[in-house]
Amino acid sequence: MSSRYTCLRLARLAARHPCRRGFATVTPGSAPRSSEHIRIVEVGPRDGLQNEKQSISLATKMELIERLARTGLETIEAGSFVAPKWVPQMANSSEILQHILQTPPASKEPITYQFLLPNIKGLDNFMTTYDSFNTSKSAEEAYPTPPGTPPAENTSSQDPNASEISPQQTPKIELSLFTAATESFTQKNTNCSIAESLKRFEPIMSRAKSLALPVRAYISVALGCPYEGPDTDPHRVAELAVSLLEMGADEISVGDTTGMGTAPKTAALLKVLKEAGVETKDLALHFHDTYGMALVNTVVALEHGVRTFDASVSGLGGCPYSPGATGNVATEDLVHLVNSLGASTGVNLEELSKVGEWISGELGRKNDANAGKAVLARLAKGR
């Protein structure tokens, strides 16, 4: 076992038996510096759409992904291999994976696409599509294109940003797993205990590592649970994070699924995570804006050194197993916040705002991105 995970194992003991001290103080200089990069994981196509009641066509989902890919985003959560009877909106995730592998959306840089797996059955379904693509790719490589064959037509000139957008960028694929910080939510969401959910992850982790596929692990209800109340134990969150890292997770996304998080609670959680040995480079935060606190909590996290955040275009989202929880923090608002602090996301806010307005219209719902609406109003006034 590496020295890092030996330290994590010791840190987990500390998380179980913590020293009771006050809130964490922000380390001077830990706020984002000018031009520092903040990574955004766009969860709209999966977490954003999963709670929509109306049926959304595969074409609309793929167009959303393709539009997002042209904005400069580097990571997009594209689908979930969950049983359709539980989350019907994700029923065509295998087709989405197949499309991304066979015809990668045009983008400035290669994009990482994430797919959520609830259990070994989800892994099997994922592997059916993934293996089929790799098999056909190997067959194509065995019969190379004859010399003198003209190259395929580059259709990127049809895009207004054609000089910046490159077609056929090889996509990177990551797997995502999810558990929760309370027993009640885990039972409602996955019909098992926390311990059982971790056991389910073992074959998925093992298979992913054999294929060199990175794994992201979500911890839901880290700042409040709809069934057990607003005071989720941060030491339980830390213990789970350490366990998942020990199992082989490459990144932990800690979620405020209910939007109950506040600035003091966010600071306290980050302090406990740090004491447990979880490094900020292994950490992402996933805020919902139910009570309008998502951006406030984001600033707190930035001051504590976190540099990866989940967000959803136009504020799409909500959790089917979290009554009352509204959408994720809007990606447009998060990009605007980061820009205002002098840091960078690499995302074109104007183009992203257009995507947010488009998908809101497609779904027949209001656009919940304040910054996006302001940008579009400014653009309209300028014409």
- Enumerate the active-site residues: 319
Nearest to 286 by CA among 44, 32, 70: 44
Q: How far apart are CA 98 and CA 125, in angstroms?
A: 12
Q: Which residues lie below 8 Å from residue 29, measured CB to CB, with a gap of 6+?
A: none
Q: Would you tell me the crossing angle of helices 331-340 and 349-363 to the nearest 10 degrees?
A: 160
User: Cβ atoms within 10 A of the Cβ of 371, count?
Assistant: 22
Cβ-based neighbours of 20, under 8 Å, separated by 6 or more? none
Cβ atoms 65, 79 nearer than 8 A: no
State the first-to-last Cα distance of the chain, in angstroms, to the nearest integer: 61
What are the angstrom distances between the C-alpha of 94 and each of 97, 123, 169, 335?
5, 11, 20, 30
What is the spatial distance between Cα 192 and Cα 200, in angstroms, rounded to a whole number? 10
Give the integer Cα–Cα distance in Å for 77 and 8: 28
Give CB contacts under 8 A, 24+ apart, made by 268-271.
Answer: 268/23, 268/24, 268/234, 269/222, 269/223, 269/234, 269/237, 270/24, 270/300, 270/301, 270/304, 270/306, 271/23, 271/24, 271/234, 271/304
